[in-house]
Every structure is written in C-alpha cells, then in structure tokens.
Chain A
Amino acid sequence: MASSATFSTLVLSSSFATQCNVSNRHHQSCFLSSPPKIPIFSIPKPVSLKLTSLLSKTPTFFTIPKSSESDAAVVDVEPDNVEPEPEPEAAPEPEPEPASVVEASKEEPKREEIFAVVMIGGRQYIVFPGRYLYTQRLKGANVNDKIVLNKVLLVGTKTTTYIGKPVVTNAAVHAVVEEQGLNPKVVVFKYKKKKNYRRNIGHRQPNTRIRITGITGYQDYPAVTLES
C-alpha cells in the first residue's frame, strides 16, 4: 500500500523510542499509578536525530552536522533523565542500571525519598511527590486548584514507615489539579444470541489529573523502623 511508506517512517521512529524506553522501564512494576510521562516526550527528539542520519536520502545540509555532533551527547543525556526518575521512587534496593549510576546525581533534581498511600474516591493510590495521578472526577475542582488530601493511610521513607491505624493523623498530601478530562473510551457491547438484541454503547468516565506536590504532617506520628 502506498500509505505504508508514511506509516513505516512513523513506525520506525516509534519503535526506536520504545526500544530506548524498554531498558529503562522494564524493572518498573506494572501497577505504578503514575508513570512519568513528561520525560518520555523528550526521547523522540534525540532518537529521531539518529534517524535522519539513517535516512541519508534527505538532502538537508543543516541536519547532518547537528546529528553527528550532538548525537552521542544527546542520546546519553536524555535516557538518564528518564532513568533516575523512576529509580529512587520505585525501589530502595538498587537495580543494576547500565548508564545511570554516574549521571543520576547530576541530572535529577533534589527529591525527597518518600511515598504515601492515599485514599481518593474510594480507591487507594501510592503517591510520590512530583508525579501525577488519574483519579475519579473531583467535583468542584478547577484547574490549578490546590488540593489537600487527608486520608493518608501510610507514609514511608527509606528507613521508616508511619502506619496509619487507620489514618496517619495530621498527615496531608498536597496536590494541584492539572486537568479534568475523560478516560479513554470503553465500548460496552451487550448481545444476546438468537434474540436479536444488541446494544453498542460507548462510555468515557470523567477523571481528574492531579500532580502531587508534597507530603507533610507525618512527623509526629509514631514511626516504625526495621530493627534487624
């Protein structure tokens, strides 16, 4: 098909991006509630610089010197932006990462190694400062509203945890509402065989995207540490 030509270029660039991502993310567990999406958008830029050197048919002169100089530097730097982000929050046990150990301290901004478990809309989420999260639609919350979540069930740092019975008193998770949107469409298809009954209904559940800014107020609670 003639359209396969355009599709193939798009597919090439996306497959490069996913290959770049797989090595960073395959140790990340599958139900982490908020995968860092922002760093991933930074990936296609340097990767496709590599691609233009492959498609050497394009006679644009300004691309070739750009790709040759900054190729090595950029492709090294950009993956490190992705790797340290999931790293400190995901596991205190250090996973062996190929290129990130040296550059991790330089690239990544100072972030407290803390997480909390928060109950929003009847569901519980593990929450890290700086990451975002999709929850049920919070009524009456507008974009860029500051939100304080009070039902904090657990706060954990690298060495101690504060276990709420059932709630960690006076703990609060501060968040900012980023977006009030809709979930991807789910098709609800009802069908009874031999009875001429079929209903095709699409459903988009409203959701809210929240970015967590900080976790406070847990210090006075009795902490639990691992006495080994």
Chain B
Amino acid sequence: MQCTKNACTIIRIMIHQPASSFYGARTREFILESEELLKLHKSLTRVYVQRTGKPLWVVLKTRKEILFASNFRGAHSRLTLTITQQRIRALVFAHWDKDRKKRDFGHLWITQINAVISGVGVSYSYSRLIHNLYKKQLLLNRKIFAQIAISNRNCLYMISNEIRK
C-alpha cells in the first residue's frame, strides 16, 4: 500500500468542515472531526513505520515523547535521544518547582504587603503588621492580605488601623 500523504487526505479533511459547526449543536461535529483526526493519526503512524522500519509501538512512544518536547529549542525538539533526556529534565524540574512555587508566591505576597503597608505611615512596616497580627489573634494569611492589598486597599488600611490600637 502506498502510504503517502497526498492531496486526497488533505481534501478529505478540508471538505469536512460543516459550517453549522460554529453554532448550535457542536458536539456532533466535534465527534466527527475528531474521528477524522484519529484516522489521520493512524495513517501517519503507518507512514512512519514504513519509512523508518521500526515497530509500531516504538513509533507511537517516540511520537508521544516528541509531542511532549515539541516546543523545546533547537536539537532538543528534533533528535530522539536528546528528546528523552530533556523530557526527563523537564519533568523533574516541574516536580521540584511545585515546592519552589510555594516559596515564590510567599515571597511575592510578602513584598506586595510590604509595599502597601510602608505607604501607610511613619515607620510602619510589614514586620510590625505581622507582629500586631499575632498579638490581636487574627488568622488571616499573607495570601489574603496580598489579595486585599491589590484589589481593595481601603480594607487593608482598616485592618492595619484596627490592629495597631
């Protein structure tokens, strides 16, 4: 069988774009379109199997890894061996960064609160705010404070005045 991308497959996809898919019942057309895409995916993997001579499962696995690394720079998205390495690094860094994310947001909130509070008055700062917070037994955390500082600054001033007393 000649497995080549030819004009027929392209035309088949392009003809199948019903105009009614833009409003009304979109699910039916979406299912039809996704079936077309699945058929295309199957025929493309058969092309790869034929051209590279590798077994189907290898082709499917490498295509998936290449998809994961498809927006990497240079050889990291093109060469299969470097793709596996870079994919591992990407996943590992993503895993580490889940903890970094908590740290980064904490720093951000503290800086934001500090910026707003320092504008309040003479020698008032983030550290004094937090100290007063604990003295008056409030439970609000820095994320909420930062959110209030951004969106509703009067509320933050009210809180800081109340705590200072």
Is the CB of A45 closer than 8 A to any CB of chain B?
Answer: yes
Is the CB of B91 closer than 8 A to any CB of chain A?
Answer: yes
B10 A153 Cβ-Cβ under 8 A: no
Residues of A within 8 A of B92 (CB): 189-191
CB distance from A27 to the nearest CB of B (A): 10
Q: Mark B1-32, 1 if CB is under 8 A from A, else 0.
A: 00001000110011001011011000000000
B141 A124 Cβ-Cβ under 8 A: yes
Residue among A32, A51, A124 with max Cβ neighbours from chain B (10 Å): A124
CB distance from A208 to the nearest CB of B (A): 20
Residues of B within 8 A of A3 (CB): 13, 37, 40
Residues of A within 8 A of B22 (CB): 13, 48-49, 51-52
Residues 39-90 (chain B) with a chain A CB within 8 angstroms: 40, 88
Q: Mark B134-153, 1 if CB is under 8 A from A, else 0.
A: 00111111011011101111
B147 A31 Cβ-Cβ under 8 A: yes
Q: When the two chains form the complex, which single residue of A13, A160, A165 contacts B137, counting CB atoms closer than 8 Å?
A: A165
Residues 1-22 (chain A) with a chain B CB within 8 angstroms: 2-3, 5-6, 9, 13
Interface of A: prevailing SS: mixed
CB distance from A199 to the nearest CB of B (A): 10
* A-B contact list, 25 entries, CB within 8 Å: A2-B5, A5-B10, A6-B17, A6-B33, A6-B36, A13-B22, A29-B150, A29-B151, A32-B151, A63-B19, A119-B139, A124-B139, A124-B141, A124-B144, A154-B140, A154-B144, A156-B148, A156-B152, A156-B155, A167-B139, A187-B91, A189-B91, A189-B92, A224-B161, A226-B161
